[in-house]
Structure 1
């Protein structure tokens, strides 16, 4: 039997059996400051860019957006909301949005600080590019042999 893991904050956990979307709602409300507003705005832009996105809650309380694989995560820290693209190193970033985790071979991130103005058009283009990359890497279903 698996033991439920509890977070150090009052954030909902998987054991609460709430949907991932409800858990993300809870995180946004719990933050109650600019970080919650920023995470909510980022979430809205992700949904605008990809209406078919699914929301997940992973790794003890990290909002995750997926479409044919992970697109990005939305982590909140004391001074930053970090949007990490799972395959960001493979994405073109003509607007120069990536400003964090630049040294890795796979991920790239955007750190949003209090007062950051989001380049919504560029961010939605980056999200769509991540979805396209995931779709292009999707493995075809295996054929059953008779």
Structure 2
């Protein structure tokens, strides 16, 4: 039996499943929808949980995170300021030099094609960026 009942042996994907279930409201539904769109845009995406349980999606570097707050689900793109956003779906963290975010509120509709295109652009940017070696 692969799945264990202790947190230490669960996969990041299983932990994200649990996080979505724990939310139990529109935020869980929105996080699940965003997650599905990320996987549709990139079937090879790597899921992780970092920073006290924040879902993180990566491919050759971080693509984005999925943070949940009381009134918003925030999808933060690590290099969003460097991405083209022809559909203007970025609506948060617009003043920063690096990140950009999309805040989803209860009842918001997701522009699925524009979001998937943004995800693909983030992956292309990650792939084109020179790799830095980590020392430590």
Shared fold, TM over 0.5: yes
Structure 1 position 106, deviation (Å): 0.1
CA–CA separation in structure 2 for the residues paired with 1:30 and 1:104: 31
Equivalent residue of 1:40, what SS?
Answer: helix
Give the equivalent residue in structure 2 for 1:76.
68
Structure 1 position 15, deviation (Å): 5.8
CA–CA separation in structure 2 for the residues paired with 1:90 and 1:114: 28
Mapped contact 1:68–1:138 kept (Cα < 8 A): no
Rg larger in structure:
1
Give the equivalent residue in structure 2 for 1:89.
81
Give the equivalent residue in structure 2 for 1:125.
117
Report Cα offsets for 1:28-72 as digits up to 9, x if no partner. 000000000000000000000001100010011100000000000
CA–CA separation in structure 1 for the residues paired with 2:98 and 2:55: 19
Structure 1 position 16, deviation (Å): 2.9
Structure 1 position 139, deviation (Å): 2.4
Mapped contact 1:73–1:83 kept (Cα < 8 A): yes
Give the equivalent residue in structure 1 for 2:3.
none
Change in Cα spacing, 1:18 to 1:95, as seen in structure 2 (3 Å) is same
Q: Which stretches of structure 1, 4 residues or longer, exceed 4 Å deviation after superposition?
A: none
Mapped contact 1:72–1:83 kept (Cα < 8 A): yes
Report Cα offsets for 1:84-140 as digits up to 9, x if no partner. 000000000000000000010000000000000000000000000000000001429
Gaps of 5+ in 2: 1-5
TM-score normalised per structure 2: 0.90
Mapped contact 1:47–1:53 kept (Cα < 8 A): yes
RMSD value, Cα: 1.6
- Find the partner of 2:90 among 98, 115, 128: 98
Give the equivalent residue in structure 1 for 2:8.
16
Question: How many residue pairs are counted as aligned between the two chains?
Answer: 128
TM-score normalised per structure 1: 0.84
